[in-house]
Structure 1
Amino acid sequence: MTEPTAIAALRTHLAHHIVGQAALVDRLLIGLLTGGHLLVEGLPGLAKTTAVKALAEGVHARFKRVQFTPDLLPADLLGNEIYHPETRTFTFEAGPLFNEIILADEINRAPAKVQSALLEAMAERQVTVAGESRKLPALFLVMATQNPLEQSGTYPLPEAQLDRFMLHVSLSYPERQDEYDILARTLAGTLGRDDDEATGLTVDEVLNARADVRAVHCDAALQRWVVDVVAATRAPEKASDALESLAGMVLVGASPRGALAWVQSAQALAWLNGRDFIVPDDLLELAGDVLRHRLILSPKALVSGLSRDAIITRLCAEIPFP
C-alpha cells in the first residue's frame, strides 16, 4: 500500500516545478489516483506542459509528449505494421500511446481522425491497428493541454471525447507574488530543481494506492445529491423553482459518467486530505472541473453572457445538501 508520505513527497516534487498553481497540482494527483484523464486549458506560458512532465518524473513512469498539429496522422499515435521484404513478414512498431503517461499537447489543433484514434485509447485502454486490438499499460493516463478556442488554429473537441476526460482544469494567470517567485527562482536556477531525491514512488505503488482511494466512503445522501445536480444540468427548471430562469440555457447536460467522475475525484481529494470519507466541500471544490466540459450551452445562454461555471455554481447553491 502506498503510504501518504509518498504522495506528499510527490506533491513536494511538483511544487519545485510549478509555482502558483496549487489547484493544478491537486488535479494532477487526483487523475493519477483515479486513472482519470485530464484536460488542462489555459493560455501559453502557464506551466501546463511542465506540470505533466514533472508528474511523470515523480512517478518514474514511461512518458511521451505528442505535439498535436493539423497534419498529425492516427499512425503517429498508434504505431505501424512494418513490412520486412527479406522475410516477407510484418512486425508492429508501437506508437507513443503505449507509454504510461501521455502529454497530448495542444490537443485541439489536430484533425478528427486523430481525435477518434485517441478516443478508443482513452475509453477502452486499448488501440486497434491493422484489425488487431492491443492493450495499453495498466497505468495509462492522458494529460491533454488545450489553448482557448478563441486562438487561431484551434477546434472544438468532439463531445464524446470531452466526456472521457474526468476533469477539465481551467488555468488563469498566477498572482503577482507567485509570478515574481517564478522569475526570481528561474534566474537563480532553483525552479524545477529538487534538492534531494524527488520521490521513491513507483508505478506499482500508484496502482495499489488506487485501491485505497476506491475504498473512501461516500454517504448515500451525498450520492443522491450528486445525481440531483447532474440531472439538473439537463433540465434546471425541473430541479427547483429558483432555477426557472435557467430554462432553455443548456442544450446538453452532464451524463451519468459525469456523476461517477465527480464521486471518484472527490474520493481522491478526500484521501489526499487524510480522510477515508467524502465531505460536501470535496464535491463543491471539484464541481466546476468535473462538469464544465460536459455542458453545451444554448445560443440563448451565449447571448446573455451566461457561462457554464455560473450555471454550475447556481445549481450547487440552489439544490440543498440532504
Structure 2
Amino acid sequence: MSPAPARPAEVASLMERILYEVKKLIVGQDQFLERVMVALLAQGHLLVEGVPGLAKTLTVKTLATALGGACKRIQFTPDLVPADLVGNRIYNPKTGEFATTLGPVFTHLLLADEINRAPAKVQSALLEVMQERQVTLAGETHHLPAPFLVMATQNPIETEGTYPLPEAQVDRFMMKLRVDYPTPEEEFVIVQRVTGEPPQITAVASMAQLAALQEECRRGFVEPALIQHAVRLVCATREPERYGVAELAPLLACGASPRATIHLVEGARALAFLRGRDYALPTDLLELVPDVLRHRLVPSYQALAEGITTDVLISRLMQHIPAPQKSLEPAHVATA
C-alpha cells in the first residue's frame, strides 16, 4: 500500500473509496456510515440503537474488508463472563504450564451485539478495554491491535432479560446512533442485492494507512471560539440557569461530562477531514451535537412523565445557545 496521504483532499478521496466499497453491499444509511467514518478517524467508539435486520453486523464486516483489517463479533448473552471477552489462562496438563488464550476483543473492528443483554461485570470488562486499549491477564499486559473500534448495538424494543448500561459506562462511547428502517425504494434495492449475486468487496486501504490518517486528523485546526461553543453547550446541560436555559433545569437530572466536549471537538475535526478540510467549521460541530450528547443526558422524572426525550432537550439547548457567527477558517486559508 502507498503511504498515507497528507492533504485533507486526499484523505477525503481515500475515505470516499472506502465508503464506495461499503456501499456496494449497504443500501442507504448515509448518515450512519458517515458517523462510523468519523469515529474511525477520531478513534472513538459507537453505541448503535436499532431493531434487528438493519445491516449493523454487515456494515462492520464490510468495513473491515475494505480496510484490510480483522473483524470479530460477540453475541452478548446473560451467561457471558469477562473471560469470554478478554481471554484466560488455561492449564496444560501435558507441559504442566499455563498458556494464555486471548479473547475476541483482540481485533481491529469489534461488534458487540446486544451489549445490554450481558450482566454488569461483562459490560465493565468491555468498556475497560475500550478505554485502556489493553488487557492484563495474570499480571501480563497485552495491547490491542491499533486501530481499534468497538461498535456496540442494543435493541430498543425489548427490555426483558436486558441490563441497561450505567451512565458512567455508556459515557465512554463517543456517539450514540439510531438506525431506522430503510425507505421502500431502499428496501427494494436491498432485496435485489441480497437475492442476487453478491458483490465482491476489495481492500482499498490498510490499517496502517488508517492509523496514519488518525494521526493526521489530530493536526486539524479547531478555532478556540468553536471549542468555547462546545464548552458552553456541555456546561449548559449541567447548569442550565447559568446559560439562560432555566426552563431545562427541572427536565435534566444529570448533564454531560467533559468527555462530551472532547468528543465534540474531535468529531468536528474528523468530519471536516471527511469533507476535505483541515479546519473545522461550526456546521461540523453542530451536526454531531445530538449524537454526542444523546446518551449522556439523564432526563428527570418530570421529563419522562411529559414524554420529553433527550433529543428534544438537545434541540431546545441548541436553539438557546447559538453557534459563533464569524468565519472560523484559519488565517492562512482565508487569505489564500
1:39 offset after TM fit, Å? 0.8
Unaligned runs of 5+ in 1: none
Q: Secondary structure at the match of 1:98?
A: coil
Which residue is 1:279 aligned to? 281
How far residue 150 of structure 1 moved from its aligned partner, in angstroms, is 4.2
- The alignment's TM-score, normalised by the length of structure 1, stands at 0.94
Does structure 2 conserve the Cα–Cα contact (< 8 Å) formed by 1:49 and 1:145?
Answer: no
One-letter code aligned to 2:27: V
- Counterpart position of 2:263: 261
1:230 aligned residue (208, 231, 234):
234
Across the aligned residues of Structure 1 and Structure 2, the Cα RMSD in angstroms comes to 1.5
C-alpha contact 2:113 2:153 (8 A) present in aligned 1: yes
**For structure 2, which runs of at least 5 residues remain unmatched after alignment?**
325-336
Counterpart for residue 248 of structure 2: 246
2:131 to 123, 127, 130: 123
Supply the distance in 2 between the matched residues of 1:63 and 1:218 (Cα, whole angstroms): 32
Cα shift at 1:78: 1.0
Q: Give the C-alpha shift of residue 37 in structure 1.
A: 0.6
Deviation for aligned residue 1:178? 1.3
> What's the offset of the Cα at 1:244?
2.3
**Whole-angstrom CA distance in 1 between matches of 2:249 and 2:84:** 44
The residue type paired with residue 202 of structure 1 is S
**C-alpha contact (below 8 Å) 1:28/1:55 kept by paired residues:** no
For 1:63 and 1:175, the matched residues in 2 are separated by 28
CA displacement at 1:30 relative to structure 2:
1.1
- What is the identity percentage for the equivalent residue pairs of Structure 1 and Structure 2? 49
The answer on 1:114 being equivalent to 2:133 is no
Query: How is 1:60-209 mapped onto 2 (pairs within 5 angstroms)?
Result: 60-148=68-156, 150-190=158-198, 193-194=199-200, 198-209=202-213
Q: Distance in 1 between matches of 2:25 and 2:41?
A: 20
2:60 aligned to 52, 65, 71, which one?
52
Aligned residue in 1 for 2:51: 43
- What TM-score comes out, normalization by structure 2 length? 0.90
Moved more, 276-285 or 141-150: 141-150
CA 1:84–1:199: 2 relative to 1, 3 Å: closer
Aligned equivalents of 1:150, 1:222: Cα separation in 2? 39
Q: What amino acid is aligned across from residue 230 of structure 2 in structure 1?
A: V
1:149 Cα shift? 5.7
SS at match of 1:93: strand
Q: Is the 8 A contact 2:25 2:193 kept in 1?
A: no
How big is each residue's C-alpha offset from its partner over 1:296-320, in whole Å with a ceiling of 9 and x where there is no partner? 1111110011110111111112102
Q: How many residues align?
A: 316
User: In 1, distance between residues paired with 2:93 and 2:182?
Assistant: 56
Number of the residue aligned with 1:298: 300
Contact kept in structure 2, 1:166 and 1:261, CA below 8 Å: yes
Question: Does 128-137 or 105-114 show the bigger shift?
Answer: 128-137
Which moved further from structure 2: 220-229 or 173-182? 173-182
| Cα-to-partner distance string for 1:49-73 (whole Å, 9 max, x where unaligned) | 1111111111111111111011111
Q: Residue by residue, what CA displacement relative to the aligned partner does 1:68-119 show, whole Å, maximum 9, x if unpaired?
A: 0111111100111111223221110111011121110111100111011112
Please list the CA deviations of residues 17-71 of structure 1 after superposition, one character each: whole Å capped at 9, or x if unmatched: 2112001111111111121111111011111111111111111111111110111
